[in-house]
Structure formats: structure tokens, C-alpha cells
Amino acid sequence: MRLAFSTLGVPAMPVAQVIGLATDHGYHGVELRASPEEPVHTGLSADERARVAEQFQKAGIEILTVAAYAKVAAAGEDAPVLDEIAAALRLAADLGAANVRVFPGGRDLPSDEADALAARRLAAAAEVAQDLGVRVLLETHDSHRGGADAARVLGRVGHHAVGAIWDLMHTWLAGEQPSVTYPVLAPYLGYVQVKDIASAADTTPLPLGAGVLPLAETVEVLSRADWDGWLCWEYEKRWHPGAADLPGLLGPAREHLTRLLSDSA
């Protein structure tokens, strides 16, 4: 398995510094948070996109995902959601990223309605994604927190250009154990987001291995299935400014994940 980290942990850090953190600490890729306050976003010009792509290519660091914020199950018209996804897909294609992350966002709707909205929009986005050679990945989150929730939508879409991000915290909060989540998401799984927290009541990010999330069990389940994808550490520093800074935690986190991988081999 290959290791990445999310720039959510290093808010608004210049691209060169992000790449430096990845290379210095032995990570293979980066999940880029794409929002207007970040260095990489959909408003970049063609030249700016080319420079970002070149920086990553020269360093040998992959851009795993453009982490966008479109909500495919949210109430409202389809067009703004699809336009937001299409813009993120074009950015990902220009950067050489394999994926675009989207959220469900349908908490205020009945589950049947939220499922239908998400499936319809993802099916429409799939055609654009396929043309661009990028995959749209629905993260287990909010209204579709469990793996079974996401799989219910993805099964209706049935397109290879649409898949899932398994956010370990959210599936655990939904009451799923890794041995349950993996089988339902396996047909769609793009990659796994790992993290750690103190408890269900306190989701302040902690160093990997310092909290309650079933990291070892997750790695063991993936290893037993011979799954050979990405583990991406999403450390949500942006939403928890009092949390420890990410850079000093990157080395120990890589060592922890490497040890878990070795133990499960």
C-alpha cells in the first residue's frame, strides 16, 4: 500500500512546502484540498496549473486527489452541483490527479430522496470524468456516513468512473467495523482515509495510534483481502486550530502505518 496525506492538515501551505513535507517524510502522494483560500483551486489559470503539475512530477510525488466540496445528495438544482464537479474534474485532469472527492451532503432529506439525487448526479458526472480520465469518489460522510450507505448509491450508478473514499472515522461513527465496511465498499473503493480521534464525542485529530479508531483492524482487513491501494492520512487541523501541527507528526505517522502494514503481512 502507498501512503499519502491531506493538505487539510497544513492549511494554505505553498505547494513547494507541501512537496517538501512529502519527500522528507517518505510519503508517496498528497490529497490536495481545493478551495479558494488554498494555493490550488479551480480558479488557477492554465499556466498556473501546469506549474503545479510540473512541481509534483519533478519531485516524484503523486497528486492522489483534488478534494472538492460538491454535495451530490444536497437539496436543490442539479446544474450548480454538476458544474462544481466538472470544474474540479478539469482541474484534476490538468494536474494529473487520479481522483476528485465529493461529499453526500443530504442530511436534511429523506434517505430515498438523497440516494436518488446522489445517484443521478454521480451518473451525470461520470461521463465527464470518463472523458477526462479522472474518477469521482464519494466520501463516506454526513448523510451517507456508513460504507453501506455509500455503496447503496454507488450500486445504482454502476459506472467505473465513480467510486468511494472510505473515511475510517465516519464509518466507525456509523457503527461499522472494518470487517463490515470493506466488503460493501470493495467493488467501488478508490482509497482509504485514515485518522485518529479521542472518542465519538471528541473528534479533535490526534496522532495516528493515539486514539480510538480501529487502524490496526482496518489495515489487517485490507491486507487479508490483498488490497493494494492508498492509505491517506487526513489530519483535520484546519477545523481544529488547537490541534498539534501536522509537520512534526508526519514521520511518526508513516512509521506507525508502516509497522501496521508489516504486522499484517
Q: For the purposes of burial, counting CB atoms within 10 Å of the CB of 201, is it exposed (0-12), middle (13-18) or buried (19 or more)?
A: exposed
Number of domains in the chain: 1
Residues 40 and 52: beta-carbon distance below 8 Å? yes
Beta carbons of 103 and 69 less than 8 angstroms apart: yes
Compute how many other C-beta atoms are within 10 angstroms of the C-beta atom of residue 154: 24
User: Can you give the CATH number for the domain in which 64 is found?
Assistant: 3.20.20.150
The whole domain housing 42 covers: 2-264
Q: Which of 51, 9, 55 is nearest to 32 (CA)?
A: 9
The total number of residues shown for the chain amounts to: 265
At residue 150, does pLDDT exceed 90?
Answer: yes
Q: What is the pLDDT of residues 71-92, one digit of tens each?
A: 999 999 999 999 999 999 999 9
Q: Can you tell me the distance from the alpha carbon of 135 to that of 100, in angstroms, rounded to the nearest whole number?
A: 6
Rounded distance, CA 218 to CA 213, Å?
Answer: 9
Residue 22: enclosing H or E segment and its boundaries? helix 15-25
Question: Cα 202–35–152 angle (5° rounding)?
Answer: 65
pLDDT tens digit sequence for 4-57:
999 999 989 999 999 999 999 999 999 999 999 999 999 999 999 999 999 999
d(CA 254, CA 248): 11
Residue 80, H or E segment: helix 78-95
- Mean pLDDT rounded to a whole number for the chain: 96
Q: Mind listing the pLDDT tens digit for each residue in 162-216? A: 999 999 999 999 999 999 999 999 999 999 999 999 999 999 999 999 999 999 9
Distance, CA of 56 to CA of 66 (rounded, Å): 14
State residue 265's pLDDT score: 72
What gap in Å lies between CA 250 and CA 256, rounded to an integer? 10
Q: 209-235, pLDDT tens digit by residue?
A: 999 999 999 999 999 999 999 999 999
